[in-house]
Structure 1
Amino acid sequence: MDLGLIGKQALVTGGTRGIGRGVVLALARAGVDVITCCRQEGEAAVSLKRELKEIGDRHEVVRADVADPAQVDDLLSACRDRFGRLDLVVNNAAVISHVPYAELEPAEWARVLATNVTGTHLVIQGALPLLGEGSSVVNISSKSIEVGIPLRAHYTTTKAALHGLTKSLAREFGDRGIRFNVLSLGVIRTEALEAMPEQQRTAMVERYSGKTSLGRLGTPDDVAGAVLWLASDLARYVTGGVIPVDGGIA
């Protein structure tokens, strides 16, 4: 099915691994020109550049830490210089750690908020001059905010904040035709899960697959499908939404 995305311009943060990588590649294959970023150069970035080159030559992987305002400025300058506009922004970059709340240091609290919330804010605010009628902003959140996760109070706080930010921006910029939505993800099978010891990985897959209506974990392609829809005119009347991509987990 042709979603009418050929020639669209997109920015995806945190796009060299896992969910972000799946989104970047799906967009590129759908004909979207994509810029993505990573905090550090490495094999993941090198291999993504190679894959994107095989798809087309209008894509770029740049180094940028969204927690750093100066690096966000450089990232958006790259988008402006290469594309001149943006039709889609996907805020996927995030950090996580597992710390007992009683032991959570101010520096770690600040580090996670700086990337997951402030970084998203900086990207959106900086992208506004490049966004116009029909543009779509997709913020990646987590189903975990509905149930809470021990040792992740700081992380779930940031993901909950994205819901309020998204809804407020949808109201504020609706008259400009810019749409803002959240994808609330369940357990997605990425490299991080595959890197677990086999016994631990098997137990986790069985446990969380059993909690879903579909009987399986999600994949980056499942998330990418939702992003493609939100980027297309099929979702032209969808804004301010929290859209579950979780296999019906309970």
Structure 2
Amino acid sequence: MDLRLDGRLALVTGATRGVGFATALALARAGADVVGCYHGEERTAEDALRVLAEAGGKHRMIRADVTRPDDVNRLAGACREAGAPLAVLVNNVGVDAVSAFADLTEDAWQHVLQTNLTSAYRVTRAVLGLLGPDASVVCVGSSAAARGVPGRAHYGAAKSGITGMTRALSKELGPKGVRVNAVAPGIVDTGPESGLPAEVRARMARMSALGRLVTADEVAQGVLFLACDTARYITGVTLNVDGGL
């Protein structure tokens, strides 16, 4: 199975932690040169960049808020400066939120949709002219879009939008040789740092057919598969990486 991306340029949004960092690392280990963006502390980005460097290749971290058009354009400019066609785009940035629908304010609704859905539109549109032949776009959705989760109407709507955008773009960009897919993780196990008590994580794990939560690395392997030539005839799909949730 060919899971190599030697010398190819990849852009990963939200690349310093969680699924984004695991994805950036998986792509780097497969030989890609990674441009990552982050919106947190510079020290976190520096730490992530050091780990990526150990995999070899040329990598960059750009501070950018992908909900801001000017930052997105600057991020696209960094990819342009890399001097190679963009072979892989991973729209990973997202935010979770919980609110009963009766208490869901318009500001909270807009924040979740801007971060989870509109950012993917902005980044994809900004780099559209940089995508090379046979490029792969992978959007990170969520299995919650199909399952429906109480208190997450805004989150489910945004992630459902990712699925719809993925399907439509696959047909629009397919004639140009560009593939567009999505991965839909289940509940990602980030350990104690998730803020969830151990008993809550255990209860969520029991909901899975495999009896455990998915790891960020396992989601990243799904992204890597869709990014590589092995999946060259796969487009318009949403790959569930949820352990049968």
Task: Mark yes or no: TM-score above 0.5.
Answer: yes
User: Of the candidates 164, 183, 207, which is equivalent to residue 203 of structure 2?
Assistant: 207
Please report how far the alpha carbon of residue 54 of structure 1 lies from its aligned counterpart in structure 2 after TM superposition: 2.5
Q: Would you identify which runs of 4 or more consecutive aligned residues in structure 1 move more than 6 Å? A: none
- Given that 2:31 and 2:57 are in contact with CA atoms closer than 8 Å, whether structure 1 keeps it comes out as no
Find the counterpart in structure 2 of residue 179 from structure 1.
Answer: 179
Please report how far the alpha carbon of residue 7 of structure 1 lies from its aligned counterpart in structure 2 after TM superposition: 0.9
- Given that 2:192 and 2:198 are in contact with CA atoms closer than 8 Å, whether structure 1 keeps it comes out as no
Find the counterpart in structure 1 of residue 217 from structure 2.
Answer: 221
Total equivalences in the alignment: 245
Q: How does 1:1-250 map to 2 (within 5 A)?
A: 2-56=2-56, 58-190=58-190, 193-195=191-193, 200-249=196-245
**Structure 1 pair 2/167, CA: closer, same or farther in 2 (3 Å)?**
closer
Helix, strand or coil at the partner of 2:133: coil
Distance 2:214 2:96 in 1: 19
Distance 1:196 1:121 in 2: 27
| Matched residue type, 1:103 | D
| Matched residue type, 1:175 | P
Q: Percent identity?
A: 42
Residue deviations 1:21-65 (CA, integer Å, cap 9, x gap) = 111111111111001111133442221022123333510111001
Distance 2:83 2:59 in 1: 10
Helix, strand or coil at the partner of 2:157: helix
Please report how far the alpha carbon of residue 213 of structure 1 lies from its aligned counterpart in structure 2 after TM superposition: 2.2
Larger displacement relative to structure 2 (60-69 or 33-42): 33-42
Helix, strand or coil at the partner of 1:66: coil
Distance 2:207 2:103 in 1: 30
Distance 2:39 2:202 in 1: 32
Distance 1:57 1:4 in 2: 13
| Matched residue type, 1:114 | Q
Q: Which 5+ residue runs of structure 2 have no aligned equivalent?
A: none
Give me the CA root mean square deviation.
1.6
Distance 1:3 1:137 in 2: 16
- Given that 1:66 and 1:72 are in contact with CA atoms closer than 8 Å, whether structure 2 keeps it comes out as yes
Distance 1:63 1:168 in 2: 30
Helix, strand or coil at the partner of 1:27: helix
Residue deviations 1:108-130 (CA, integer Å, cap 9, x gap) = 21111112111100111111111
- Given that 2:183 and 2:240 are in contact with CA atoms closer than 8 Å, whether structure 1 keeps it comes out as yes
| Matched residue type, 1:110 | Q
| Matched residue type, 1:195 | E
Larger displacement relative to structure 2 (103-112 or 178-187): 103-112
| Matched residue type, 1:66 | V
- Given that 1:41 and 1:63 are in contact with CA atoms closer than 8 Å, whether structure 2 keeps it comes out as no
Please report how far the alpha carbon of residue 232 of structure 1 lies from its aligned counterpart in structure 2 after TM superposition: 1.1
TM-score by length of 2: 0.94
- Given that 1:9 and 1:83 are in contact with CA atoms closer than 8 Å, whether structure 2 keeps it comes out as no
- Given that 2:32 and 2:57 are in contact with CA atoms closer than 8 Å, whether structure 1 keeps it comes out as no
Distance 1:137 1:206 in 2: 33
Distance 1:2 1:117 in 2: 31
- Given that 1:91 and 1:138 are in contact with CA atoms closer than 8 Å, whether structure 2 keeps it comes out as yes
